[in-house]
Amino acid sequence: MIDWLTGTAFTVAGAGTTWAELLGFATGVLTVWLVARQRIANWPVGIANVLLLMLLFWTAGLYADAGLQIVYVGLGLYGWWAWLFGGRRRTRLTVGRTSPREWWALAVAGVALTGALWALLDQATDSTVPLPDALTTALSLLATYGQTRKRVESWWLWIAADLIYIPLYAYKGLYLTSALYLIFLGLCVLGLREWRADLRRGDAPTPVPPGPAPVPA
């Protein structure tokens, strides 16, 4: 199976496109569309997607991105559970905003993770792109955490990551994956609009039904 997935499906601009990349393209587009529509099926489809991408990135020398996919499986299982049962409070999750406290925690975690991965990739691997590989890994993890909690700002983190991923994958010769992340970028903008609209509906005051005013006691 692995030999077939890493085999060439077709060639683009002289670079072979593997079956793993092709299937990752299809499942990736479906996953982001399902997230934008708040469909819980995004989680099992997304888990299949990250397993395909893990194989693809490892063979391309994007080691942090490959390792990131393992973490994504865990986050995917958590997100699946949280969307089903509401997380720890066992209430239905609704779209919300990231609190200032969460932002500070995410910022500290993002800087620390980027720095640690950058040093690790630069010293312990033959990666030719240690900094962008580390940065996109950190941004993607933070965005996925926000997605599991239905934080609307998670889309901005995905947009930032995609803007780096697109030229990074093209540089590594993964042209189809680069095109996939261009589609992801458009779907992220759509998801941001959808979730912001849902948030506004939740923030809107409940209309008072017409009728006579209550008589003071």
- Is residue 206 helix, strand or coil? coil
Tell whether 27 is covered by a domain.
yes
pLDDT in tens, 22-76: 788 888 889 989 988 889 999 999 999 888 888 877 877 777 678 778 888 899 9
| 11: pLDDT strictly greater than 70 | no
User: Model-level pTM?
Assistant: 0.76
Instruction: Report whether 86 contacts 98 (CB < 8 A).
Output: no
**Strands (E) located in the chain:** 8-12, 15-18
Residues of the domain holding 195 = 2-200
Q: Is residue 56 part of a domain?
A: yes
Number of Cβ within 10 Å of residue 108's Cβ equals: 10
Residue 206 lies in a domain: no
* CA nearest neighbour of 15 among 63, 51, 56, 65: 56
Q: For residues 43 and 109, what is the distance between their CA atoms, to the nearest angstrom? A: 24
Comparing 205 with 139, the larger pLDDT belongs to 139
Residue 210 located in a structural domain: no
Question: Looking at the domain assignment, is residue 208 inside a domain?
Answer: no
176 three-class SS: helix
pLDDT in tens, 177-203: 788 889 889 989 999 999 999 988 876
What 3-state class would DSSP assign to 96?
strand
Whether the Cβ atoms of residue 150 and residue 96 lie closer than 8 Å to each other:
yes
CA angle (76, 84, 74) in 5-degree steps: 15
Q: What is the largest CA-CA distance in the chain?
A: 83
Counted domains in the chain: 1
Is 142 domain-assigned? yes
Asked whether residue 213 is domain-assigned, the answer is no
pLDDT in tens, 96-149: 999 999 999 999 999 999 999 899 888 888 888 889 989 998 998 899 899 988
**Residue 8 lies inside a defined structural domain of this protein:** yes
Q: How confident is the model at residue 152 (pLDDT cuts 50, 70, 90)?
A: very high
